[in-house]
Structure 1
Amino acid sequence: MLTPTEHADETVPLVDANAYRLDVLDTHGQILASTVTDRAEAQRIATHSTGETVAQDAEGVITVVGAATNMGPRTHVLTPRRSGTPQTLTPMERADEMARLVIAAAQQDNACVVTGGLVDTVMKLNADEEPGKANAVSVRRLIRARAAAEGVRVILTDDERYWAIREQLHHMDGDQVHALRDSIADGGELDPRGHDRVLVNAISARLSRRLPPHRLNGAEPVSISLWHEPEPDGVGSLPECADYPGVAEALDVLRAAQVPVATFPGRKMPWREWHSPQGPQGAFVSPHCGRTLEVAWFIDGAHDERSMRTGSTRTVRAARNQALDDVAGAFDRAGWKVWRVESNNTQTRRALRVDVIPPAAGEEPPQVITEEEAEADG
């Protein structure tokens, strides 16, 4: 049974709930929007003003009839969401919460710019949660509706992206734009920028003799990159490991000893091209555990003998053994601690890798250990 109150500024007591679901209804009772609000906001809504009628039923559901909004009178329905009970969001709630998460991510990590890639990334990160099941179209519509109030810029369509790129190119001088175009041309078919028609068209328009549109005058470009740069090559180590302690020093030791280092191309390579003389060749450094680094030796894109034909194994094994001996000698002369990790499953010597630690005071480790001992130490 509803208990109405009609006195202005009278507060309706709330039930014991941490949050409320707020549904906004039109004059026909159709839900226009839904969201989740906290107890304080629910209390503010329930404190009605003149012209509003508030009613509360036995379940604690509060109905505010005649609530003033910028679209005219509306009906607000506050449904308590008690903790400890399973909560199922409505489709509108899912989209609303996901839009909030995307806008928060843009404000925190993306220079207040919402792009299609950011929306997809945030939705994938929350795929196992209720908001992650929201309809992508609804999410984008809500983001657009809130963009001005939240102070974010929305770049979701190709047209929006084109003009955002034009703004960035407009603030670059001619030499910089020509250098960008030449860099894309040098990348060939494997450069993702060459397949980005929006970017290519924007560069062509910028380098044309036509006067720039008036909309570019005074426009403030976004500070993030709006195109995918080609992946950098991993020279001697993966790019994400370059700042790991000791990796740069290890590569300096190898180069000082004139030991070749392997290069992992940033572009995708076919399997046959990778496992060929065009594939990685030489030493490759990877973080292992603590301060320990692993140094493997790549021959034709492979760092071991697996999947090789028996006839080629003997030649490759001898070459890798000698190369890893040279690697161990280079680090030993530089004062590093060196472990030679070798297999004990073959009749002839088979070096697997070299583990090294930068110079530090401590007990000298054994010079040769088995693969099982290396795993146990790790």
Structure 2
Amino acid sequence: MKPIYLDFNASAPAAPEVVEAMRPYLAGDFGNPSSLHWAAHGAREAIKTGRAQVARLLGCRPEEIVFTSGGSEANNLALKGLFFARAGRPSHLIVSKIEHPATIAPACFLERLGARVTYVPVDGAGLVDPDEIRKAITRDTFLISIMHANNEVGSIQPIAAISRIAREHGILLHTDAAQSVGKISTNVGTLGVDLLSIAGHKVYAPKGVGALYVRGGLEIEPLIHGAGHEGGRRAGTESALLIAGLGKACEIAQPWIGAPSTQRLRDLFWEQLRMAFGDRVVLNGHPEHRLPNTLNVSFVGRVGADILAQIPSVAASTGSACHSGEIKLSPVLEAMGVAPEIGMGAIRFSLGRATTRDEIEDVVNLLKGL
């Protein structure tokens, strides 16, 4: 059986157009983009172009884009940068219980420094209730950080509704859009966010590059101090190579936003699984408000890792981990209230732009043969 890759939420390959955009900077245009001489011109123009391409996808100004090493750094810069910019004032932030570790871990770190953090719950479909956000707000709340779409079950959060609550109280709103960029609209004006994180390798750019949108006029303390790169918000010589790749990835992502082809394949996949397994397979996540490429299902009474071990040609992710013979649910499924006997059989299949119907049908046949 040929290898079948259905783990695009974990990482997507660099698109051919992205590879071509990066090629000139592998050997040429090597100058430091901050230099003023002829050798810096090519790199400086590549960064200018890349910044404009990312900004165009998000509907913001180029100067509001801060390039980072990836989504994790972008999330850390958002939370820590705002906290440290408050200069020791009482600080309270709100995050959901199903955030990516790149948000949860910085929040826990800030707790050690004196911040108070409220972890709001989600419902059985993995959605945050905006009223829970409203109830959690205090006079010291400076930031709400809720991911745009969950990486495991794909549920899309009501960010615009949460934004209205944040505006009412004068609170900043950050969203981790690593999974949603290039799949659904991430226009920052429509969402109403002040900060938004991007991970390059989730949007067919290379690993090692990402970006943070920071609304104009908003001050954040850099995580990395040094020279005044990125408008003084992140020190370090920029990589024209990686930024050119991210920019091109954002440019070619536009036609895929809202495109129905991937969602049709995902729905066909789910339909065939239900036909094959009946009530022995359960959907995790919201049935409608989720990413068009994401299908997280539980095989009741089975262990997801055991299933994937029996079909090694299929690359996918499980929703549980086995430690010393004990099955432990992912924090996301646990927060959703998924029963252990259901959650232990969870597998996330995440489709990509190149996924075919034949691949989906091959996977279903493999699963039926177990």
Normalising by structure 2, report the TM-score.
Answer: 0.27
The structure having more radius of gyration, on CA atoms, is 1
Normalising by structure 1, report the TM-score.
Answer: 0.27
